Amino acid sequence: MTKKDKKSFSQSLDEWKLFIYNPTTREFLERTAKSWGLILLFHLVFYGFLAALFSFTMWAMLQTLNDKVLKYHDQIPTPGLMVFPKPVTALEYSFSLSDSSSYEGYVRDLDNFLRSYDLEEQKNLTACPDGALFEQKGPVYSACQFPHHLLKECSGQNDTEYGYSRGSPCILVKMNRIIGLKPKGQPRITCAPKDERAALITTYPSGGHIDLKYFPYYGKKLYVGYRQPVVAVLASFNLNNTRIEAAFDCIIDGSPNLKNKDDCDKFLG
């Protein structure tokens, strides 16, 4: 096209207007009302079918699930461990005896965690017999009490600062909950410093034992008010040293069906 044949602005504008709506053929964007209607109908039917197929698939999948029990809970045979209070970084705790603000966060976390273990909070739970699995048939399930006086010096009853002000801090350790888990033997949580000269470890309840009456666990919806058993670890240091660093290992022990070593999962047990 030469410069002489170049369309003027008004001609281009008229063509655009005609493209948008042609009054002669009554076409909008070069399609009649019937054509647009058929396109709209096709897309309504197509996407309506996809939505119905997706909804049916989700409904069918949900029919295979139990609202009260996880379907694949048996894929995790051995629980991991959790610690309280929450570490500031990774799994490291640091504080100074001369600065109470350095450990007040730890004390607050322990207060909040143990509040649910007060006897008043557990008055509707069952005082179960010791030393045996507390198996139930349902449909009503009753959880066992875990009186926090079992934690003794780490219960917060006699020392509201959990030993931090004395340089003998308390750490609470508990196993993750696994539905239907039935430990054999006498499960316990044992902790030891990597350097035995760094600190002396005391556990509560004695020996870090976890009573079998807290197993099996039936799930959050069935086991209303369930309190996980907790083991308190009291670390006593030589306060003659101005700076103390120590590393500790905690494992699940005493139960042949609970593993505490796995090359693929260093946090197992």
pLDDT per residue, tens digit, the chain (269 aa), is 455 567 776 767 767 777 777 777 777 777 787 888 888 999 999 999 999 999 999 999 888 877 666 666 556 667 888 888 888 777 788 888 888 898 899 999 999 999 999 888 888 898 999 989 999 887 888 889 998 889 999 998 888 999 998 888 999 999 888 888 888 889 999 988 887 777 888 999 998 999 999 999 888 888 888 989 999 999 888 766 656 788 888 888 888 888 776 656 555 55
Contact call for residues 222 and 155 (beta carbons, < 8 A): no
Instruction: Provide the pairing of β-strand 231-237 with 199-204.
Output: antiparallel
The pLDDT, as a whole number, for residue 225 is: 86
CA distance 30 to 56: 38
* Token pair belonging to 13: 């504008």
SS3 letters for 223-267?
CCCCCCCCEEEEEEECCCCCCCCCCEEEEEECCCCCCCCCCCCCC
The pLDDT, as a whole number, for residue 77 is: 66
In DSSP terms, 235 is beta-bridged to 201
The pLDDT, as a whole number, for residue 92 is: 84
Give, as one character, the DSSP assignment of residue 36. Answer: H
Does the pTM surpass 0.75? The reply is: no
